[in-house]
């Protein structure tokens, strides 16, 4: 039995806009945009924000989860968050490749988690390739940092403000710069 487009997308296959099932991705994106518009319009208390975010992801988030809108995503259904996760305002999560955020993670304003890339070949550039991002327990991501496709950020690490993370981050380290490099080890 062949995989559907969502399985192929999550497994890192190149997905062309000419794929006969591409309309399914379009429908999923439209669904997410309706929920995002509701989330980002007007005031919502913490419980209402949790409810809308849970609808977006298709999975109930823990009562300790906090999000300050506005929040942006292309898809939403591939985001998973643990307990005591805080996401500040203005973040963008492009989650078609899957985003896993473990417990006790702090995400500052304007952080970008991007799981989608495009092939280098000009003839395929309108296609996409998605690979997951994993943010391990206890991570703090600084303001306006960008985490690129396929990156795992190790437990208790800090991503400095404005960093662009293109490679895995070891546990208990601080990374900074473009591209991000380890600048310090965290010792308790």
Cα distances (Å, whole numbers) of residue 169 to 59, 133, 159, 176, 183: 27, 11, 9, 11, 11
Distance (Å, whole) CA 107 – CA 158: 10
Strands 129-130 and 116-117: antiparallel
> How many CA atoms, within 13 angstroms, populate the side-chain half-sphere of residue 145?
26
How many distinct helices (H) and strands (E) make up the chain?
3, 18
**Mind telling me the catalytic residues?**
118
Q: Buried b vs exposed e over 116-135: b needs ≥16 C-beta within 10 Å?
A: bbeeeeeeeeebbbbbbbbb
């Amino acid at each position: 039995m062949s995989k559907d487009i969502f399985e192929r997308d999550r497994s890192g296959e190149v997905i062309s806009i000419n794929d006969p099932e591409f309309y399914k991705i379009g429908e999923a994106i439209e669904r997410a945009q309706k929920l995002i518009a509701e989330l980002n319009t007007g005031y919502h208390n913490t419980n209402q924000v949790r409810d809308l975010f849970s609808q977006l992801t298709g999975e109930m988030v823990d009562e300790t989860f906090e999000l300050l809108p506005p929040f942006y995503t292309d898809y939403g259904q591939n985001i998973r968050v643990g307990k005591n996760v805080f996401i500040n305002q203005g973040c963008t999560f492009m989650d078609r490749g899957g985003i896993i955020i473990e417990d006790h993670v702090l995400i500052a304003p304007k952080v970008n988690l991007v799981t989608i890339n495009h092939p280098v070949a000009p003839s395929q550039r309108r296609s996409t390739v998605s690979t997951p991002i994993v943010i391990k327990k206890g991570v703090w991501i600084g303001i306006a940092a960008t985490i690129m496709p396929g990156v795992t950020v190790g437990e208790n690490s800090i991503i400095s403000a404005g960093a662009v993370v293109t490679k895995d981050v070891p546990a208990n380290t601080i990374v900074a710069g473009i591209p991000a490099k380890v600048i310090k080890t965290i010792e308790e």
